[in-house]
Structure 1
Amino acid sequence: MRPTAPVLDESGWGVTTSGTSLTIDMHRTEVVSALVYRPRKSVEAGRVTEYAVRLSTDGRHWTKPVTTGTLADDFTAKTLDFAAQGARYIRLSATTTADGHNGWAAGTQRTSAGSSPTPPASPADVQVLGDPALTAPSTAFLPVDGWTASATDEETKAENDGAANVLDGNPATLWHSRWSPKTVRLPHALVIDMHRTTTVAALTYQPRQTGANGRIGTYTVSTSLDGVSFDAPVASGHWKDDASTKTAVFTRPVSARYVRLVALSEAGRRGMWSSAAEIRLSAPGDPSIAGSWGPVTGFPLVPVATAVLPGNKLLAWSAYGVDRYGGSNGYTQTAIMNLTTGNVTQRRVDNTGHDMFCPGIAMLADGRVLVTGGSNASRASIYDPRTDTWSSTADMNIARGYQAMTLLSNGDAFVLGGSWSGASEPKDGEVWSAATHTWRKLPGVPAAGAMTADPRGAYRADNHMWLHATSQGRVLQLGPSKQMNWITTDGNGSITPAGTRSDSPDAMNGNAVSYDIGKLLTLGGAAAYENAPATRRAYTVDLNGGGRPTATRTGDMASARAFSNSVVLPDGKVAVFGGQEIPVPFSDAKSVMTPEIWDPETGRFTPLATMAVPRNYHSTANLLPDGRIFSGGGGLCGDCATNHLNGAVFTPPYLLNPDGSERTRPVITSAPPSHVALGSTLPLSADSPVSSFAMVRTGAATHSVDNDQRRVPLTFKQTGAGSYALSIPSDPGVALPGTYLLFALNTDGVPSVAKTISVG
């Protein structure tokens, strides 16, 4: 869970401006996790649009940007999130402003950080958010075997509250500063002796769980090699007066034997005491196991829906507003992120008369993106990446929202469900024709047979179905209902029960991912759309044994998740991001901040580097051409606190060495043809030995579902030194027509940067 990060106390701060930058000096080191920017409402000129945020501990040496992006050109407050870390200085640089003015001219508007004047191109108000009480990004707790703890004083006469209790693993015991027969005054210090020199990146403090006396407020953390001479603090700040676990993230990982926590105040100002239930230390995570996160990139909208485009770009869209939805407004806010430069551009799409909030999406065979329904519930629009244009296609016969879609093996598109929007009527199946651009009803495919048992009925029960297209225009509906179904789409269509998903209950807001030919992994979900406990369970569904799919429970995730997003990787592993233990739209309560990765060889999940921003309802994730993963969005609830107008790129473990450097990749040195026929042989060359090839279909994600992503491993022959002949499957139900990312992997499982090809 990620609690809301506190707004830091600005007492004693200073602010200066220079050119295009505004710099805040907090005059103390704090753990910071976001900057809140509120544009001036008096004038439009000078509102920041493109920006970068950098941090420093000394005012001279600055980090690379911890977050960059493009802001919506309006008056609403913007939260610029980044991974929590220690800093004294925060610098906001305006790359461009709304009126194109790049300078910070003299002005009289004050910032909340002090009384220094700010210019017309500056914010009316800037706040800094502090420690969100997360386990440090990319860290893991160190084992406490052999450790000892001591304190400047401890209560051992009236109670058994010695320092050793902070290492016993029992939160019911505690260390308490001495209060009998006489209270020892603040400050109080706890020292952890690890009895060996270890690299440490964070300290986690669990306050006492019974009573409140002694909860630590203001604190410092310092380290030592000899236990006598302690260095300058590597973390400092003020913890909130509650029983939640707090983390002090160090300004940098340090090599130490001793770690000292000094309590300078009692959080509730109840007295001169200090106490702690448990203390843990964290080491920097091994990037070759946990991966790593890049900086958070700001978007001018909440990326509720995203699609990977040729040319190393990402299309994102939300609704009529950048941060809210409602009504049939006839237009949609869209953005395109250039994955090479990180730049994000924005525009409003009016010409299709379509508010594309909460739609169905299908990636068409020719690379275009078909978007249906949502707020304008009968409309359908197509984005063409070749011309960067949106156009209308025929309206659906049945108005829908929250429906599911997939491309069919014949190039048409199938849609089912969607009672969230449109008239109160059955949301039975229909098909869009690629040849005629018209819709055909499927009276033989009623939505009722594929619904969950949600207590709110069809309004929630037919949402976000998991669909997997197979041969001859057939589709397997394998969730979120526990009942699976085979669907045919010729003529009037038909729907036939295909058994249950092993012992799985309904799993709304979970998802399914095709990780191999005829093999899918299902993850998480809950028995109802909201306010029901999510599950940790995962299942494999195998279609290769004949007509009846075989569902088998595989290893459980470490965390229960609903509203999460899952992505298949070139090596067949599946990464899952975000989600909540109990799904609640527009809430970040009980957020799961640690992604996990599933290995089909072992059936087990492994934790990955912690995210900086919660990703729940209205979040997305997509595999990128360089083998990394985009994760973004969440919120879209107007003036609430859970709008996440940003995203970040995750580097999976297969790309990293233990020291964080990038592993050597194979390089595809030949340029494959832009179009590859089914059943053909594709010649390819690489600069180093390749042990496997895989195609991953470019995906489009929204509301935890990406039905069109699939991984297709390829058989091949080596035809010479560095030369290979790849066999493209002949069955369009295996290699679904469309755009694929073609990866070469070496013997260590490291993927190349993909080549983009069209298959069909």
Structure 2
Amino acid sequence: MINSQEYKVQYGKWDVIELPAEQRVNAIHAALLPTGKLLLIAGSGNDQQHFDAGTFETLLYDPATGQSRKIVTPSDLFCGGHAYLPDGKLLVAGGTQRYELLEGAVTHAAGAMRVKNEFPDAGRDFPKGTEFIAPDGRTYRATNAFTLPPAKKTNDRRGAVTVTASETTVWVESADVGPAGVTDQPAQYAIAGLEGPDADNMYGLAEGMTLEKQDFQGIADSYEFDPFTEEYVRVGDMAHKRWYPTLTGLPDGSVLSVSGLDGTGTILPGQNEIYDPATKTWTERPELFRYFPTYPALFQTARPDVLFYSGANAGYGPADQGRVPGLWDLSDNSFAPVPGMRDEALLETSGSAWAGPVQNQKMIVVGGGGVGESPLSTARIDVVDLNRPDPVFTAGPDLPEPVRYPNVVQLPDDDLLITGGSRDYRAKGNSHVLRAGLYDPDTNSLRAAADPTVGRDYHSAGVLLPNGQVMTLGGDPLFADKDDTKDGKFEQRLEIYTPPYLFHGPQPVISDAPGQVARGESMTVSSPDASRIAQARLIRPSAATHATDVEQRSIALDIDRRPDGTLGLAVPPEPTLVPPGYYMLFLVDGAGTPSVARWVHVA
């Protein structure tokens, strides 16, 4: 039945793709490049053995040809963040410095060491393994290399000099196994090997060392992936190490980095920073100090300097902090909560996306679960109109069943595909939701789509392809059986969804379109099907991870039907609606069937 034309016309069709064994990766991150290829970033792939061995992977996959190849991956980019830059490169920042150790598995007492330098004229680089000596003689070793900048020297108007010590934090472990390294006494530690003034000016401070559970730790490494040379290029490090950060592109082409676990496994309390693609450097923005849980879903709205936090996030952070949706004004760092969300305690691992063209400023929040390893989930779809003076969430249609980790993908006909996920945390109890639906933003309704056959949960993504299909990938269940007795296996199969609109007749054809256009300009597009074109859309490509994608947005283009048979497509002038970068141009006919996209660079 599912292969019948009648069924496919109404529900669409799913097909599983299995790559050759040597080309399979744990696709933690998926980004569609302006070459049409998919960048699948695994890093260590949530595999401790790969991490210990320094085996970090990225796969470049071409959905048009099925060809793929591995890319040299210079750092463990597992659970970093990403955003597109104006030139089409993908900024990837953060990742994994260290895997978590559960209580009982910690063999060496450890903790955060604040290292200070009171000397203003020089800093110093320290290698991994640098030793810190406690007053009682116990030794602790840095688990990573670190840099200690010079102290800051300032002069007041009277000529008085003030020196403020510089500080960096590094994770240290006891040289002794077991309780011998445990201490709850704050102390100042000497740095082994320093002599004379260096020994006086540089030292460590720690509150204590424990054998308690240790969380994942982040890195500050940043890279630009060049889609044309197909390689990672190292750029300036972030000011803070981050694991599970969100990177959100801003209208001027810069990128905001928010949240994450730092180099000691502690969630950052609110230090945020901005990347400048011109200088390839990060600048901390203390005036934008604001806390969010990890992987917060932050979207640029139509209003300058205003971001919308949908409340969706992917994990770490207390249940009573940073969970409320709202509008964050970067001009004064104010935050205005948006009320009305149903099941507001079940926003972790939810999905969110613009509903229809971004000009409408409507967003949906789909599913979600309780904080941490909660078994709770919700079938909620709620909608908010940010064009309203006082936006409030209103009820949309409920999903057929509660779900965490749903992937929500914007389609060229303005529908959104909602697919995958699981009822329980990381699909416990074999709780994968093998359902999909198509949400219509015009009618605020949900209709059934063909059922996927591959379970997707934690570490999954959905990506719109240039031909109008959708690729889903990833999935990282804890267990492989209903009774939760067998370890789960990362899902390496790909699955591709062909929406109903591709079974309604031939796709319109774009015979000619410019490769570049400026905001506020009209581009001339030729098509033999111009007479039946009902709408035109620019869709920003996805960069998704953990069922979170803050990049995708669809922009409606006004159509001018010209006497010569060409179409004049007007690009909105507002950079808040059309951030610079590469977009897929789709022409959609009256039946809702989209063309194969042409790539257009918005300068």
Q: Same fold (TM over 0.5)?
A: yes
**C-alpha offsets along residues 711-756 of structure 1, whole Å, 9 cap, x if unaligned?**
1111111013641111101001011221111100111111000111
Would you say 1:463 and 2:184 are equivalent positions?
Answer: no
| Paired position in structure 1 for 2:304 | 472
Q: Residue 402 of structure 1 contacts residue 420 of structure 1 at CA under 8 Å; is this kept in 2? A: no
Q: Residue 435 of structure 2 contacts residue 451 of structure 2 at CA under 8 Å; is this kept in 1? A: yes
The AA in structure 1 aligned to 2:11 is: A
Alpha-carbon distance in 2 for matches of 1:383, 1:325: 25
Residue 416 of structure 1 is aligned with which of 234, 258, 266?
258
Which structure 2 residues correspond to residues 327-726 of structure 1 after superposition, within 5 A? 332-350=56-74, 354-376=75-97, 377-419=219-261, 422-424=264-266, 425-448=268-291, 450=292, 462-470=293-301, 471-480=303-312, 483-489=324-330, 494-506=333-345, 507-515=347-355, 516=357, 517=359, 518-546=361-389, 548-584=390-426, 587=428, 589-635=430-476, 640-657=487-504, 663-670=505-512, 672-688=513-529, 689-720=532-563, 722-726=565-569
Alpha-carbon distance in 2 for matches of 1:740, 1:373: 25
State the Cα distance separating 1:305 from its structure 2 match.
0.5
Would you say 1:748 and 2:472 are equivalent positions?
Answer: no
| Paired position in structure 2 for 1:11 | none
Q: What RMSD over aligned residues (CA atoms) do the two structures have, in Å?
A: 2.4
Change over 3 Å in CA distance of 1:674–1:332 after alignment to 2: farther
Q: Residue 484 of structure 1 contacts residue 501 of structure 1 at CA under 8 Å; is this kept in 2? A: no
Which structure 2 residues correspond to residues 160-239 of structure 1 after superposition, within 5 A? none
The AA in structure 1 aligned to 2:411 is: L
Change over 3 Å in CA distance of 1:650–1:624 after alignment to 2: same
How many residues matched? 456
Q: Residue 619 of structure 1 contacts residue 632 of structure 1 at CA under 8 Å; is this kept in 2? A: yes
Change over 3 Å in CA distance of 1:604–1:463 after alignment to 2: same
State the Cα distance separating 1:329 from its structure 2 match.
7.1
Alpha-carbon distance in 2 for matches of 1:726, 1:321: 42
Greater percentage in strand = 1
Alpha-carbon distance in 1 for matches of 2:537, 2:466: 12
| Paired position in structure 1 for 2:117 | none
State the Cα distance separating 1:347 from its structure 2 match.
3.3
Change over 3 Å in CA distance of 1:619–1:372 after alignment to 2: same
Alpha-carbon distance in 2 for matches of 1:626, 1:400: 35
Q: Residue 357 of structure 1 contacts residue 374 of structure 1 at CA under 8 Å; is this kept in 2? A: yes
Q: What 5-or-longer segments of structure 2 have no aligned partner?
A: 98-218, 313-321, 480-485
Alpha-carbon distance in 1 for matches of 2:416, 2:263: 32
Residue 577 of structure 2 is aligned with which of 731, 734, 745?
734
The AA in structure 2 aligned to 1:655 is: L
The AA in structure 1 aligned to 2:426 is: V
Change over 3 Å in CA distance of 1:560–1:620 after alignment to 2: same
The AA in structure 1 aligned to 2:237 is: D
Alpha-carbon distance in 2 for matches of 1:711, 1:748: 19
Alpha-carbon distance in 1 for matches of 2:545, 2:243: 12
TM-score, length basis structure 2: 0.71
Change over 3 Å in CA distance of 1:678–1:540 after alignment to 2: same
**C-alpha offsets along residues 312-364 of structure 1, whole Å, 9 cap, x if unaligned?**
211101122585577587663000111111122123412xxx20001111111
**C-alpha offsets along residues 471-507 of structure 1, whole Å, 9 cap, x if unaligned?**
43432112126522333446xx613123225334141
Q: Residue 46 of structure 2 contacts residue 78 of structure 2 at CA under 8 Å; is this kept in 1? A: no
Change over 3 Å in CA distance of 1:588–1:469 after alignment to 2: farther
The AA in structure 1 aligned to 2:250 is: L
Alpha-carbon distance in 2 for matches of 1:483, 1:604: 25
Would you say 1:290 and 2:11 are equivalent positions?
Answer: yes
The AA in structure 2 aligned to 1:726 is: L
Change over 3 Å in CA distance of 1:630–1:683 after alignment to 2: same
The AA in structure 2 aligned to 1:514 is: W
2:501 is paired with a residue whose SS is: helix
Q: Residue 27 of structure 2 contacts residue 45 of structure 2 at CA under 8 Å; is this kept in 1? A: no
Q: Residue 325 of structure 1 contacts residue 636 of structure 1 at CA under 8 Å; is this kept in 2? A: no
Alpha-carbon distance in 2 for matches of 1:402, 1:305: 12
Alpha-carbon distance in 1 for matches of 2:5, 2:461: 27
Alpha-carbon distance in 2 for matches of 1:649, 1:728: 30
Change over 3 Å in CA distance of 1:333–1:675 after alignment to 2: same
Alpha-carbon distance in 1 for matches of 2:311, 2:545: 16
Higher relative contact order (Cα pairs below 8 Å, separated by 6+ residues): 2
| Paired position in structure 2 for 1:226 | none
| Paired position in structure 2 for 1:234 | none
State the Cα distance separating 1:399 from its structure 2 match.
1.3
Alpha-carbon distance in 2 for matches of 1:536, 1:725: 42
Q: Residue 462 of structure 2 contacts residue 470 of structure 2 at CA under 8 Å; is this kept in 1? A: yes
Alpha-carbon distance in 1 for matches of 2:564, 2:499: 29
Q: Residue 28 of structure 2 contacts residue 42 of structure 2 at CA under 8 Å; is this kept in 1? A: yes
Alpha-carbon distance in 2 for matches of 1:324, 1:698: 31
Q: What 5-or-longer segments of structure 1 have no aligned partner?
A: 1-137, 140-252, 254-282, 451-461, 658-662
1:316 is paired with a residue whose SS is: strand
- The range that moved more, 639-648 or 374-383, is 639-648
State the Cα distance separating 1:285 from its structure 2 match.
7.0
Q: Residue 585 of structure 2 contacts residue 599 of structure 2 at CA under 8 Å; is this kept in 1? A: yes
Alpha-carbon distance in 2 for matches of 1:637, 1:581: 13
